[in-house]
Amino acid sequence: MYGRDRVLVTGGAGFVGSHLCERLLERGAEVVCVDNFFTGARGNLMPILDHPRFEVIRHDVTFPLYLEVDAIYNLACPASPVHYQHDPVQTTKTSVHGAINMLGLAKRTRAKILQASTSEVYGDPEVHPQPESYWGRVNPIGPRSCYDEGKRCAETLFFDYHRQHGLRIKVARIFNTYGPRMHPDDGRVVSNFIVQALRGAPLTIYGDGSQTRSFCYVDDLVDGLMRLMDSDDTVTGPVNLGNPGEFTMRQLAELVIELTGSASRITHLPLPQDDPRQRQPDIRQAGEKLGWAPTVPLREGLERTIAYFDALLGHERMAAE
């Protein structure tokens, strides 16, 4: 669909964004990556930095941006609780001012715009699995609120720009996604467990480990995001994108220990405040409207991710010697 269309990816130097930039280049788009490198890294862009149709701009989306583009993927925002709670005011600004600035850009250029929203809009849900029609149960004043409420407000802005200005919008509610290029110190559970197992350190389960998450491999997610962007203008979302395979954190820890062959043990740390008890996407809409379903089971995705971290930590070990 894009041909030589110019596509902007905000947060393009991050984990998901770097995979997305790569896939868009593969299919012939001109790609502009905008990132302030808060959690992203130039290293994630190594395979494409010299690509003739690729450009990187260091910029913070809380400030206005003037570019000519045909489509915008708005991914800029730290996604790990550790990082989004580091400077919570900046997190809300990134979601809210960032959305306003990118929607303004879309309005001026008449570009299509996709928002990377999150399963966090459902908070600690009483409805299980979570369909898009569920309004969620979010604490508005807790430590996760800067992210959850910021993303909820961004969804509001997207739908108001759609209703008020006729913008072509797409809202994806992304469930826990993992894969190569997560930062080793990202702090999210999959990268934490893998890095701990490979270093022979104890795997840190928060709480008793009975809380659940549903993990989607990054290639599947990127495929879903691109299908959503390509869909008919009547498809605005919100659409859940995630893998319905649901696991407790204890099961995940045991699987990582098995697949790495590590001698690591499990240790328990306090459960963070407002940590959701359970999460599983209802993905019927993504199936019906986008013909999308995830294809990579957790075991296989973990094997690929472990291979990535094994190589990365191997280089670190060599550099230290």
CB of 318 to ligand UDP, least distance (A): 26
Q: Say what the alpha-carbon torsion angle 143, 145, 151, 155 is, to the nearest 10 degrees.
A: 170
Comparison of 101 and 109: residue with beta carbon closer to ligand NAD: 101
**CB contact set of 149 (below 8 Å; sequence gap of 6+):** 92, 138, 140
Comparison of 12 and 81: residue with beta carbon closer to ligand UDP: 81
| Beta-bridge mates of residue 71 | 7, 112
* Catalytic site residue from 122, 147, 161, 178: 147
- Give yes or no for residue 94 binding ligand NAD (CB under 6 A): yes
**Cα separation of 213 and 243, whole Å?**
10
- Give yes or no for residue 11 binding ligand NAD (CB under 6 A): yes
- Give yes or no for residue 204 binding ligand UDP (CB under 6 A): yes
Choose from ligand NAD, ligand UDP, none: what does 61 bind? Cβ within 5-8 Å by kind. Answer: ligand NAD
Q: How far is CA 316 from the centre of its chain?
A: 26
- Give yes or no for residue 211 binding ligand UDP (CB under 6 A): yes
∠ CA 83-89-8, nearest 5°, is 70
Q: Which of 275, 278, 293, 312 binds ligand UDP (CB under 6 A)?
A: 275
Q: Cβ distance 206 to 271 under 8 Å?
A: yes
Q: Compute CA distances 104 → 99, 113, 233, 237, whole Å.
A: 8, 10, 18, 20
Question: How does strand 30-35 pair with strand 6-10?
Answer: parallel
Residues 184-203 that bind ligand UDP (CB under 6 A): 188-189, 192
CB of 119 to ligand NAD, least distance (A): 6
Tell me if residue 147 is catalytic.
Answer: yes
- Give yes or no for residue 217 binding ligand NAD (CB under 6 A): no
Comparison of 48 and 189: residue with beta carbon closer to ligand UDP: 189
| Beta-bridge mates of residue 268 | 205
**CB contact set of 138 (below 8 Å; sequence gap of 6+):** 120, 121, 122, 123, 124, 145, 148, 149, 152
Q: Which of 22, 30, 60, 219 binds ligand NAD (CB under 6 A)?
A: 60
Q: Which residues bind ligand NAD (CB under 6 A)?
A: 10-11, 13-17, 35-40, 60-62, 75-79, 94, 98, 116, 118, 174, 176-177
Q: Which residues bind ligand UDP (CB under 6 A)?
A: 80-81, 176, 188-189, 192, 204-206, 211, 213, 249, 272, 275
Looking at the annotation, which residues are catalytic?
Answer: 147
